[in-house]
Amino acid sequence: MDFTGEELIAAPRDMVWAALNDPEIMRGCIPGCQGIERISPSAFEATIKVKLSLFSATFHGLLTLSNIDAPRSYTLSAEGKGGLAGFARGSADVILEARGEETILHYRAKAELGGRLAQFGARLLDSTSQRLAEGFFSDFNTAVVAKMAAD
C-alpha cells in the first residue's frame, strides 16, 4: 500500500528538520507510540501500539534514517514485530520545501503487513495506514508550531 501527502508547517525548514530528528517530538506524534529511544545518530528503537478495528497489537522495532540530505530530505524506514499479530514494514520519503518562513513537508509512504494483520484485508489496512500517516503529520505540525511559539 502506497500513499502520499503534504503538510504546510508555519515554521522555517531548519526548525522542522530539527523536530523530525527529535525523539521527544516523535514520541508525541507517532500514533500509539509507547516509547522511542535513539540508539545511534540514524536509528531509533520504538514500541508502538496499533489498533485495527477490534484488534490491537504492540510492535517492537527499529526506525532508521537513510538518504539523509540535511535539512532537505531523508528516508525513514521502520520494521517491527508484533508477536502473533505478525510484522509491519514501511518507509517514508520525506522532503522539506522551504517557503519563506514556512515549510511544506511532502511525504511518500509505503507499508507492508504480514501474519495475522494481513488477514484483515487490504482496504481496512490501506485506510488505517493512511489515517495513521495523516495523524502523525498533523500532530507533528502542531508540535513544531507549539515548539516555535515556546522558543
Strand partners, 63: 44, 78
In the predicted structure, residue 53 carries a pLDDT above the cut 80: no
What's the whole-model pTM score? 0.86
Domain 2-150 part of CATH 3.30.530.20:
yes
- Exposure of 104 by Cβ count < 10 A (0-12 exposed, 13-18 middle, 19+ buried)? middle
User: Sign of torsion, CA 104 18 66 87?
Assistant: negative
Could you read off the pLDDT of 84-95 as tens digits, one per residue? Answer: 778 888 899 999
- Exposure of 3 by Cβ count < 10 A (0-12 exposed, 13-18 middle, 19+ buried)? middle
Could you read off the pLDDT of 106-145 as tens digits, one per residue? Answer: 999 888 878 776 676 556 667 777 777 888 889 999 999 9
